[in-house]
Structure 1
Amino acid sequence: MQDKTIDYILRYTWQAVARMYNEEASKYGATMATGFALLSIDKEKGTPSTMLGPKMGMEATSLTRTLKSMEEKGLITRKKNPSDGRGVIIELTKEGQEKRELSKNTVLKFNETIKEHVSEEKLIHFMQVAEVINELIADKKIYSEKEFENKL
């Protein structure tokens, strides 16, 4: 993989992880997005729907579709937000809490397996590299607006 670009390796690896999670989730009639949503909802107090999208890095339309499916399957309920009448709190049902536990165990197994095959030092470096990539993107240090304007 040395001749591959960094973005190729990231994309290829993430697609493999997503496929693996979707295969595992399908055994329980779910998807990776459902599992991720279950893990993103506070199991005690619920989570305001407006906070879920940013927390998951998901677009509103995809999140709406995922939440609708989860509600139809009886995994979540929507309740009025007592501190903001316009908002909605997403809460896990008993079945949602059980599926959340399955999702949590699936993620933990993935992490444990990786840790068995990759040294702690390499994992620390991986996390540091990922952090730098995210900071460079957030700070617009790869493609700046100024650079774009100069090309026009």
Structure 2
Amino acid sequence: MREKTIDYALRATWMAVAKMYNEEASKKGSTMATGFALLSIDPESGTPSTSLGPKMGMEATSLSRTLKTMEEKGLIFRKKNPQDGRGVLIYLTPFGVEMRNFSKEVVFTFDATVRKHVSQEKLDIFLEVFQIINDLISSKKIYSKQESIKP
């Protein structure tokens, strides 16, 4: 299957990236999900909790669990949203900002290393292909009758 499907290449690569990020995060007692959440929270003005899930592509229950753990570890705190009394804003604590900077450095190091080994032309093509795949998925063209082709 490895040589035959795009799906395999996507899954195997993402699993390797996730494992790598989790290994780096574990050095600071964290996880990739926590790092991703830290990077998704506006460090100055906070972020509405309702916008974090869609921003991160996480289900509400997984996000709630992640935020609860982050709060317990002293990375974030919650405040009522002054614009919407029903909503909550998530803010970073000083420790959260420190860990956000660590997460950002991990991502930038990965990015710089890949850029050092892959030409800009190949990266542009790679990103274009990923955009096409995302567009096909979001427009629901993968399994529509007119697009579906069996091998």
TM bucket, shorter chain: over 0.9
Distance, in Å, in 2 between the alignment partners of 1:23 and 1:13 is 15
User: Would the alpha carbon gap of residues 2 and 75 (structure 1) be closer, same or farther in structure 2, given more than 3 Å must change?
Assistant: closer
Distance, in Å, in 1 between the alignment partners of 2:146 and 2:121 is 38
Cα distance, 1:133 vs structure 2: 0.1
Aligned residues of 2:2 and 2:9 also touching (Cα < 8 A):
no
Cα distance, 1:46 vs structure 2: 0.4
Aligned residues of 2:34 and 2:70 also touching (Cα < 8 A):
yes
User: Would the alpha carbon gap of residues 43 and 61 (structure 1) be closer, same or farther in structure 2, given more than 3 Å must change?
Assistant: same
Q: Name structure 1 gaps, 5 residues minimum.
A: 148-152
Q: TM-score, normalised by structure 2?
A: 0.94
User: Would the alpha carbon gap of residues 52 and 145 (structure 1) be closer, same or farther in structure 2, given more than 3 Å must change?
Assistant: farther
Partner of 2:120: 120
Distance, in Å, in 1 between the alignment partners of 2:62 and 2:122 is 34
Cα distance, 1:144 vs structure 2: 2.4
Partner of 1:39: 39
The within-5 A match list for 1:65-80 is 65-80=65-80
Aligned residues of 2:37 and 2:56 also touching (Cα < 8 A):
yes
Distance, in Å, in 2 between the alignment partners of 1:146 and 1:134 is 18
RMSD: 1.5
| Residue 30 in structure 1 maps to residue 30 in structure 2 | yes
User: Would the alpha carbon gap of residues 130 and 83 (structure 1) be closer, same or farther in structure 2, given more than 3 Å must change?
Assistant: same
1:4-45 C-alpha deviation (Å, 9 max, x unpaired): 300110000000000000000000000000000000000000
Work out the percentage of aligned pairs sharing the same amino acid.
Answer: 69
1:57-108 C-alpha deviation (Å, 9 max, x unpaired): 0111110000000000000000000001110000000000000000000000
Distance, in Å, in 1 between the alignment partners of 2:144 and 2:42 is 36
Q: Name structure 2 gaps, 5 residues minimum.
A: none
Distance, in Å, in 1 between the alignment partners of 2:48 and 2:63 is 13
Distance, in Å, in 1 between the alignment partners of 2:119 and 2:15 is 23
| Residue 96 in structure 1 maps to residue 116 in structure 2 | no
Tell me the amino acid that sits aligned with residue 110 of structure 1.
F
Tell me the matched-pair count: 147
Aligned residues of 2:43 and 2:91 also touching (Cα < 8 A):
yes
Q: Which runs of 4+ in 1 moved over 2 A?
A: 1-4, 144-147
Tell me the amino acid that sits aligned with residue 61 of structure 1.
T
| Residue 14 in structure 1 maps to residue 14 in structure 2 | yes
